[in-house]
Structure 1
Amino acid sequence: MVRKRKSTLKASGTLSMEEINYLTRKYRTARAKRNATILFFLIMVVAGTYMLITEHAYSKVYKAASYTKTSSDNNQYVAFHNGIVRYSRNGVTYLNHKNKELWIQSGQFKNPIIDVNKNVFAIADCGGNSVQIFDRKGLKGEFETTLPVEKISISNQGVISIILKNGNTPYIVTYDSSGNILVENEVSVSSLGYPTALDMSEDGTVLAVTYLDTGNGSLKSKVICYNFGEKGKNKTNHIVSQKEYDEEIMPEIYFMDKSNLVVVSDHSFIIYSGKDVPKKKKEVTLKQEIQGTFHTSKYIGFILLKEDKTGYEVCLYNKAGKQIMCKDIKGEYSNVSMTGSEIIMYEGSRYCVITKTGVERVNKDLGMNILSVIPANGINKYWVMGTNELRVIYLVR
């Protein structure tokens, strides 16, 4: 006869719906807290690893690949989308990260200048009449201007504004990508001054221009913003804002994003705010002499001559005009740009990378005449364009 074991379990009765719902909520809350804790630690590990890699000084540069250049030595380079634009007097070539030509567009430019936006870029012949507009697939439009080109700025939609030379009566003309004139302004130098810089908003609605006026024996600059949309249609010459600055020269102006505009003078920078009607928000005076400028959609940067004139420093500001980093640098660099959180400088065969927090990641002599340095896909990876080759390099400890 088989003896039955006594069960140690005792019936506790039937659970009510309230008790079932309570236990379910308690279980789900505990699971959510556990998952959140695991996710938090994973994020901390990933962020810590990333910071360890990116905020670290490297002593060596490894050449992972090298591609010999077969074209002429007068090429210039700029990053665009996931590739590289190579342009020269003979036209434009779009390259992938292995130096493979994705497309080629011929052209004739005595002095090519370029302006790059997110989805399009434009090449024009400074002093000539040729203008070509491209997207990542190739030529989007081309046309000839009636007067010599001086400066250009292109919006993300392919609308382009151009300062055209015409003696003492220059023109600022805005075209679509096919060359159709959208807006034409004849500049009265006697009342406005001569246009020195311009930039279009990303959507092509607002055009910001700086003018230099030396009339009546005085020097002053003007910042004028034109709105070609609803806000400016009933305004004289589409002007929605205008401001004068005495004893200042303003050679640079740019939109950081949709609503922030920056004007750089010879000893300060001014932040304007407003998507449709940009207005002055803050002016920051720089005590040192400006040697170079750069910016991204988040940061405003300068290379400055130190006050004691013994060297240089790189300083970084946010959109509010607050200084977030200033660091002494070794050597002199005439080429500077910023991508993401990295400031890239180069001169001759030497290049230097500094992070937005002031960490000098690398400062090396590559033994080649550097024409451009562009961050590549991946961590610690860069494209370096030289006179005779394109290199892919990695930073290593």
Structure 2
Amino acid sequence: MAGNDNIKLYVPGSVEEIEEKAKHYRQKKYKKYGVILGILLLFLGIAGIALIYQKYTSVSVVKTYSNQGADNNSYAQFATGVVRYSRDGVVFLNRKNEELWNQPCQIQNPVIDVNEEAFAIGDVGGTSILVFTKDGLKGEIETTLPIEKLSVSDQGIVSAILKNESSPKIITYDAVGNVLVEHQIDVNKTGYPVAVSMSSDANLLSVSYLNTQTGILISKVGYYNFGTVGQDKTDNQVTLDEYNGVVMADLFFMDADTSVAVGDDSFVIYRGKQTPEASDTIKLKKEVVSAFHSDKYIGFILRNADTAGYELCAYNKNGRRVMSVDFTGEYAHIKISGRQVIMYEGSKACIYTIGGIRRFKGDLGADASELIPVFGINKYLVINANEVKVIRLAK
């Protein structure tokens, strides 16, 4: 049979040549996708920067929920919801203002302390403390003396300063009221306890004392270890530092290893999970009007001496200042939420980023008993006695 010169057989190249061609094809494809991804990331970066630096002066209402509250209600953010509390009871709401549970009670002067997994409400001047989790009431505590201050751990363990002019007590209870540790304070020797804070794991208790017996103002900051390290110490005390001429009026734990004592013109960062030691003392050079914190930042409102208004500043856990801005106006409620500092009073609010950029200053359109950031760009929850509003910042 005669051959056909028009027919040619395809002879494939070597395996190496085939792999090289495939590699070249993949590189061209990845380069194309890389260019597209780079353009997209650049666009998102520009949009993100624009959002960060954008200033807003008004709000738009996204959604409104009716509220069956009363004017004497107070609110606190807890877990994924909101605690509403008053003299008559405690209610836990989700962020759609739906009631999850309701605990009636009679508390004349309620004060709240909130941790991540539990919160406690005490009757200042009374003898009742109620401990809650997100599932409801965990336990009730009856004290033998009037309550002045309290602090709760994630497990629901509560330490309270109990008032007695000559011999106050600091008693630590479990969530159902059993006494775990009792400290009888010698006022002449140690001073009167003015602040108390418990670590989230209930291993450490920090107490600030004020002593004026010698005619010299002295603050003492003590730490008590309830674990094995403190068992062989007198009263479980592992640290006691003195500060002359300073009132250490506030204490708080930022994490298990970091806690802070706040004075009238300075603050001290303590480090240590078992035996805390003062590691950084930061002078503020201005009078502290108020202090607030998150697990990452320490914030202050400082009174300007030579100009009107105040300074808002924040520090990280290493004691480095991360923001400082001057502002005017009076705000009763100030807190750090994520990377925002939120200040509000009535219907007026002011919001800064932790880097010092003012995001919002204006009217919320309603009085706010609580102002909470929610999921979504520039969205917040405004809660008061009449309604709960979801708002978005607007120009």
Alignment of 1:14-163 (within 5 A): 46=44, 49-163=47-161
Shift of residue 230 of structure 1? 1.1
Equivalent residues of 2:68, 2:385 under 8 A apart: no
Q: 1:231 aligns with which of 218, 229, 236?
A: 229
Equivalent residues of 1:267, 1:289 under 8 A apart: yes
Distance in 1, matches of 2:247 and 2:73, equals: 31
The count of corresponding residues between Structure 1 and Structure 2 is: 393
Distance in 1, matches of 2:31 and 2:317, equals: 37
Residue 190 in 1 paired to residue 192 in 2? no
Equivalent residues of 1:56, 1:359 under 8 A apart: no
* CA offsets 1:23-67 (integer angstroms, 9 cap, x no match): 999999999999898877766655554443344212330012223
Counterpart position of 1:392: 390
Alignment of 1:335-354 (within 5 A): 335-354=333-352
Q: 1:262 aligns with which of 260, 263, 267?
A: 260
Equivalent residues of 2:159, 2:171 under 8 A apart: yes
Distance in 2, matches of 1:203 and 1:295, equals: 18
Equivalent residues of 2:59, 2:365 under 8 A apart: no
Shift of residue 353 of structure 1? 0.6
Distance in 1, matches of 2:42 and 2:241, equals: 48
Say if 1:302 and 1:3 are closer, same or farther in 2 by CA, change over 3 A: same
Aligned AA (1:189): V
* CA offsets 1:295-347 (integer angstroms, 9 cap, x no match): 11111111112231311121111111111111111312222101000100012
Distance in 2, matches of 1:30 and 1:234, equals: 70
Distance in 1, matches of 2:21 and 2:163, equals: 79
TM-score normalised by structure 2 residue count: 0.91
Counterpart position of 1:364: 362
Q: Which runs of 5+ in 1 are unaligned?
A: none
Equivalent residues of 1:249, 1:266 under 8 A apart: yes
257-266 or 93-102, which deviates more: 93-102
Shift of residue 168 of structure 1? 1.4
SS in 2 for 1:245: strand
Say if 1:212 and 1:24 are closer, same or farther in 2 by CA, change over 3 A: farther
Distance in 1, matches of 2:12 and 2:364, equals: 80
Aligned AA (2:100): L
Residue 5 in 1 paired to residue 3 in 2? no
Counterpart position of 1:179: 177
Aligned AA (2:391): I
Aligned alpha-carbon RMSD (Å): 2.7
Counterpart position of 1:283: 281
SS in 2 for 1:66: strand
Distance in 2, matches of 1:112 and 1:243, equals: 32
Shift of residue 355 of structure 1? 0.5
Residue 244 in 1 paired to residue 242 in 2? yes
Equivalent residues of 1:312, 1:332 under 8 A apart: no
Say if 1:139 and 1:6 are closer, same or farther in 2 by CA, change over 3 A: same
* CA offsets 1:64-111 (integer angstroms, 9 cap, x no match): 222333332100001011111000001100111121111100111110
Aligned AA (1:374): I
Equivalent residues of 1:55, 1:355 under 8 A apart: no
SS in 2 for 1:189: coil
TM-score normalised by structure 1 residue count: 0.91
Distance in 1, matches of 2:191 and 2:335, equals: 30
Counterpart position of 1:317: 315
